[in-house]
A and B are shown apart, each in its own frame.
Chain A
Amino acid sequence: MNWAAVAAIYRFEMSRFFRTLLQSFISPVISTSLYFVVFGGAIGSRIDQVEGVSYGAFIVPGLVMLTVIMQAISNASFGIYFPKFIGTIYELLSAPINFLEIVMGYVGAAATKALFIGVVILVTSSFFVDLTIQHPLAMVAFLLLTCVSFALLGFIIGIWAGNFEQLQLVPLLVVTPLVFLGGSFYSIEMLPEVWQTITLFNPVLYLISGFRWAFFGLSDVPVGWSLAAIALFTSLCLTAIWWIFRTGWRIRS
């Protein structure tokens, strides 16, 4: 393992983040506050409680997941797309490093940024609602796994993308609907039965459900399923990346 190279990539990527730390910090604070004004205030005044949890608190795990997933994807996809776009990827390809080290550097940095923003949202939320976390360790584990696995997905998107439009396309067309339809802001029991079944094919549901369980001890699907789903998703992404670097698909012309 070329750890020095992993560290070099990680630090280089993080420095971009630190240059814009204030923006990185302020925008999630503002958007979270807006969510509480709209969902918590306007809708929450009508829904009141979901399965014994105040609606304001109920949406926190979904809100965190939504943002963390989007951040992990956009950071990782941009992180690897950018060197491809401006040509500096030649350095990665000619360095004595393997795909795992490249992935650890880029995905590690993207996951760290997503994690940071997830924590900012959690803290911001705690100013609006009372948050109790029943299983703090599980909460941290779910959060970390989500950051990493969606950063892996973002990495794949960044390698696949041939232009900036494509870079935005997958998150917009695929991930956003999956996240919104994955029970971020509602319990799937609130849906008609047909939709409940359909929703079970949405991988994001398992994440949000597991994450919510860590907070309130209640979930749409059993926690074990959530863990299995995220493990499966992570290993699929890793396999795809291994294949990409083995064949040089879209990186070694």
Chain B
Amino acid sequence: MAMVEIRDARKVFDGGFEALRGASLDIEEGEILALLGPNGAGKTTLISAICGITQPTSGTIAVGGHDVVKDYRAARNLVGLVPQEVNLEPFEKVWKTVRFSRGLFGRKPDDALLERILRKLSLWEKRGATIKSLSGGMKRRVLIAKALAHDPRVLFLDEPTAGVDVELRRDMWDTVAELKREGVTIILTTHYIEEAEALADRVAVINRGQILLVEDKDALMARMGRKTLRIELDEPVAEIPAGLSDYGLRLEDDGRVLVYDYDTSAERTGIARLMGALAAEGIVVRDVATSQNSLEDIFVGLVHDGQEEEGVA
């Protein structure tokens, strides 16, 4: 049984807009799943439906085997939510608002646990400060502290590192990795693809309310990963020689560099043949370099393809 099971979830907002259009997804216990998608794809809506912020119009969602509507107490007991918006009471003290969160989940006060959480998030020194006196990044961490206060088994992080500086982002990654070691299932949305690359076990891509793809991150990168070969020429060429027209080459740097894209998972990469063809054309190669495409390119390609298909249909 998956920790979170989403089956054909639909959400139609009051205005008639369909933000979720039959999304289905299984999230396994203990994994970090990165949920990627462009603005307005439905990431926040999906998380809201799981956490009880909005009611799905149809479909079923279960957390830990508990239906989030019928058996909401059991389901929500397992879930911690760090919302995308920094929603905090400006005049409250850090310590009190975190304690409140724990109480709201019906847990007995446990100041030692809250102290550990605040220390882990470098907020312990600020425990007596009012929220409004904190910086944006600190406020975000207060949100995380509140979500962790009741010791959730599943944690939703809706863009936790938006507006957070580089160093702090690394800290946050460490925190997430540590939570994973403690066995917490983590769902993370982000627009920083390197974040998904660094943290996720699996990647899900959502667009226009539908899950387009769910895959193991490494497998995904291997399967769809394209490599680029840059061939530096001894003598610049004015145009791509006719004998090389089959390779889809691009000319760069005023004809000094030929660029060749190839698929690492294809039967043949075609590199050897290309090299032979270059020699046959009498082109002298000075240097070659390859680079691996990132998850970002994959993501952009996927979302782009999806939109083109829609456009055709």
Residues of B within 8 A of A94 (CB): 51-53, 76, 79, 81
Knowing A86-B89, A90-B81, A90-B87, say if A96 contacts B103 (CB, 8 Å). no
CB B97 to nearest CB in A, in angstroms, measures 9
**Interchain CB contact under 8 A, B54 and A87:** no
B 72-109 contacts with A by CB, 8 A: 72-77, 79, 81, 83, 85, 87-90, 96, 100-108
**Interchain CB contact under 8 A, A88 and B104:** no
Which of under 10, 10 to 19, 20 to 34, or 35 or more describes the interface residues of A?
20 to 34
Knowing A86-B89, A96-B77, A253-B14, say if A91 contacts B104 (CB, 8 Å). yes
Nearest A residue (CB) for B100: A12
User: How many residues on chain B are close to A (CB under 8 Å)?
Assistant: 32
Residues of B within 8 A of A9 (CB): 103-104
- From B73, B83, B89, A96 is in contact (CB under 8 Å) with B73
Nearest B residue (CB) for A253: B54
**Interchain CB contact under 8 A, A91 and B101:** yes
A86 to B86, CA, bound (A): 9
Knowing A86-B87, A88-B89, A90-B87, say if A97 contacts B104 (CB, 8 Å). yes
CB B78 to nearest CB in A, in angstroms, measures 9
Fill in one digit per residue for B119-151: 1 if any A CB lies within 8 Å of its CB, else 0: 000000000000000000000000000100000
CB B144 to nearest CB in A, in angstroms, measures 13
**Interchain CB contact under 8 A, A252 and B54:** yes
- From B13, B52, B90, B103, A93 is in contact (CB under 8 Å) with B52
Residues of B within 8 A of A93 (CB): 51-53
CB B1 to nearest CB in A, in angstroms, measures 20
Residues of B within 8 A of A253 (CB): 13-14, 54
A213 to B105, CA, bound (A): 44
Confirm or deny: A4 has a beta carbon within 8 angstroms of a beta carbon on chain B.
yes
CB B33 to nearest CB in A, in angstroms, measures 19
Confirm or deny: B24 has a beta carbon within 8 angstroms of a beta carbon on chain A.
no
CB A18 to nearest CB in B, in angstroms, measures 12
Confirm or deny: B55 has a beta carbon within 8 angstroms of a beta carbon on chain A.
yes
Confirm or deny: A7 has a beta carbon within 8 angstroms of a beta carbon on chain B.
yes
Residues of B within 8 A of A83 (CB): 89
**Interchain CB contact under 8 A, A87 and B85:** yes
Residues of A within 8 A of B83 (CB): 87, 90
**Interchain CB contact under 8 A, B53 and A252:** yes
Residues of B within 8 A of A252 (CB): 53-55
A193 to B52, CA, bound (A): 54
**Interchain CB contact under 8 A, A8 and B13:** no
Confirm or deny: A92 has a beta carbon within 8 angstroms of a beta carbon on chain B.
yes
**Interchain CB contact under 8 A, A95 and B54:** no
Confirm or deny: A31 has a beta carbon within 8 angstroms of a beta carbon on chain B.
no
A91 to B106, CA, bound (A): 13
A98 to B72, CA, bound (A): 9
Q: Which A residues are closer than 8 A to B by beta carbons?
A: 2-5, 7-9, 11-12, 15, 82-83, 86-88, 90-98, 248, 252-253
15 contacts between A and B (CB under 8 A): A4-B103, A4-B108, A5-B103, A8-B100, A8-B104, A9-B103, A9-B104, A11-B103, A12-B96, A12-B100, A90-B81, A93-B51, A94-B53, A97-B104, A98-B73
- Nearest 5 CB-CB pairs, A to B? A8-B103, A87-B87, A96-B73, A96-B76, A2-B106
